[in-house]
Chains A and B, each alone.
Chain A
Amino acid sequence: MSLTVIKPGMLSSFQDAGRHGYQHQGIPAAGAMDERAHRLANALAGNAGDPATLEITLTGPTLRFDAPACFALAGADLGATLNGQDIAPHRPLVACAGDTLAFGARPANGVRAYLAVHGGFALPAVMGSESTYLRSGFGGFQGRALAKGDHIALRTPLAAHRDLKALRDALWNLRIYLPGTLGNPRRTAIRFLPGLHWHEFSEATRDAFTRSEFRVSPQSDRMGYRLTGPALALDQPRQMLSEAACFGTVQVPSGGEAIILMADRQTTGGYPKIAQIATVDLPALAQTAPGDTLRFALISLDDAQRLDAERERAFTQLHDALAPLRALLTPA
């Protein structure tokens, strides 16, 4: 009744939409780097709630289904195959007991893919979330990334008597319309709002931030993306007091290189904050790899909130539209 890890891949960890409501205890939200793709995978696997999906990074794992399951993939195309056959992203699919899901059959397009199974993986909720916080070793599967030989139980495997071929055909015949705002994002510039200390940065720095190209440094991970590019500086350097930080806060330590705080960010930070990435563009950012170049463009708060709300509404609509999928998967 489980999934067996044949090869763990570079970094495969369970993540949901994050551990909210505990940041005042210093507990990081963690959660999916590309929350859009995580939720999309869940919706396409016929999940109504927000169970954790497996966040797969660049070099994917090899997994064997030991029980029949419905699953879906979203996010980066990491060259997924089922028993060696290419599989379609953004579709609900059926695996039989013994089937092997592998990655790497094609060059990666993007960085993070999300594997959802119908019913979710059988993981304990820690403070209301199934997200793995790797740095402190709790949440998800034993608080860590997948390792060879792990067995991950499925919460609700497909019933043993299901006619899997009939289910596969029925799923294939489902029409699934994916609104543009939920698809894989391609952006020439990542949109940002001025950070709390934007006006304290020199004019040259503000200019450089909006016009220059930055490179994602190899020292980038789920906690933060370090950027190399023009040195960024305050007009009058001063000590900042620690205060709350967010997913997408761009802070600048005294060395002048920006760090964008990502999913595993600390709850608070004490560096000057030059910018805040618009939530709608966090998925595009999370799909950039070390070595990629980035540009930033200002967006108004109204526009950022409008686009964010539009994406949330699109998820609500997609969820409603996928009622027939959930009906197919729920045992009568």
Chain B
Amino acid sequence: MNASSEPPSPAEISWRIQPQGDRCLIITFGDRIDASVGRTCLAAARKLRDAQLAGVTDVVPSFVAVAVHYRPDGVGGGPTCSALTARVNALLADGIPVGASAERDIDIPVCYGGEHGPDLDDVARAAGVTPDDVIALHSGPRSMVFMLGFAPGHPYLGLHDEKLNIPRRPSPRTVVPIGSVAVANRQTVIYPNRLPGGWNIIGATPLTLFDPAREPASLLQPGDSVRFVPISADEFNRIRKAQP
């Protein structure tokens, strides 16, 4: 974790661009999960998306990298890997506005423990703290959405306190209930659907994380700043009933 809370200036950021086949570039900004590298990826992704480069269909940030998916135009044969690499390099060298645009602040209500969080006690034991401490560690500081992946609208958030640096469960569950909030490796995932999963479930949110009929379909977007808000089981039921 970077000790400094200042966003790094572009001069300190370095990256490497590699082709992933003939229709994708991967731009790598670091080699381990870190809030500062994560913010750089999100800022670079935003800049590349806003540039609306010809032929580019998707810009996908992840923990330490940004993918640029593209396809040929059917006329001139472009964009080629080399031309697009040069264009991306020029855009990034011109400056990556880390922290320049306001993050969205989003509250995610979570009912911790009990039937919604069957692994809360295990997590507390592994972390060497009480279940209430786990809730405080998880819901106190804000978390950042590093990326979405694995399933539609499925976020990876972090980074949590070092005490929450616990491994995934030894064997994954074949089905995790919708809305489950689960931790491992100082990160949180939220299951937007009934899915298989190996993370430690400490609670559940009554919010609908993914709805293909909604715009945007995913409740959370890369870069969002999230606060987990502890709620009771009654509040959980009330909020879930009110979801469309």
Instruction: Please give the residue numbers on chain A whose beta carbons come within 8 Å of chain B beta carbons, in ascending order.
Output: 20-29, 126-127, 133, 135-136, 138-139, 193, 195-196, 241-244, 246, 248-249, 266-268, 273, 276-279, 301, 304-306, 308-310, 312-313, 315-316
Decide: B147 and A268 in contact? CB cutoff 8 A. Answer: yes
Kindly supply a per-residue 1/0 record for chain B positions 68-79, scoring 1 wherever the CB is within 8 Å of any chain A CB and 0 otherwise. Answer: 010111110110
Cβ of A273: which chain B residues have Cβ within 8 Å of it? 20
Among B63, B154, B212, the most chain A Cβ lie within 10 Å of the Cβ of B212
> How many Å lie between the Cα of A19 and that of B58 in the bound state?
10
Q: Quote the shortest CB–CB distance from B135 to chain A (angstroms).
A: 26
List, in ascending order, chain A residues with CB within 8 A of B150's CB: 26, 242, 266, 268
In contact, A243 and B64 (Cβ under 8 angstroms): yes
Chain A binder among B96-104, B121-129, B214-222? B214-222
Q: Which residue of A lies closest to B193 (CB)?
A: A136
Give the chain A neighbours of B156 by CB distance below 8 A: 242
When the two chains form their complex, are residues A244 and B24 in contact, meaning their CB atoms are under 8 A apart?
yes
List 6 other contacts, CB 8 Å, given A24-B61, A196-B20, A312-B74: A21-B57, A21-B58, A136-B212, A139-B212, A193-B22, A268-B150
Q: For the complex, is B19 an interface residue (Cβ under 8 Å from A)?
A: yes
Give the secondary structure class of A's interface. Answer: mixed
Q: What are the 10 A-B residue pairs with the smallest beta carbon separation, nearest first?
A: A244-B67, A276-B21, A268-B149, A309-B77, A26-B148, A25-B218, A138-B212, A20-B57, A312-B74, A304-B22
Q: Determine whether B111 belongs to the interface, using a CB cutoff of 8 Å to chain A.
A: no
**With the chains together, A136 CA to B149 CA distance in Å?**
14
Interface contact A249-B152, CB-CB below 8 Å: no
Are B77 and A244 neighbours in the complex by a CB distance under 8 Å? no
Closest to A195 in B: B20
Closest residue of A by beta carbon distance from B78: A309
Chain B residues with Cβ below 8 Å from A242 are 62-63, 147, 149-150, 156
Q: How far is the CB of B208 from chain A (nearest CB, A)?
A: 13
Q: Is the CB of B81 within 8 A of A268?
A: no
A268 pairs with B60, CB closer than 8 A: yes
Contacts of A196 in B (CB 8 A): 18, 20, 26
- Whether, in the assembled complex, B237 has its beta carbon less than 8 Å from a beta carbon of chain A, the answer is no
Q: Are A24 and B65 in contact, with the CB atoms below 8 A? A: no
Say how far B166's CB is from chain A's closest CB, in angstroms.
15
Return the contact of B148 from the options A25, A29, A193 (Cβ within 8 A). A25
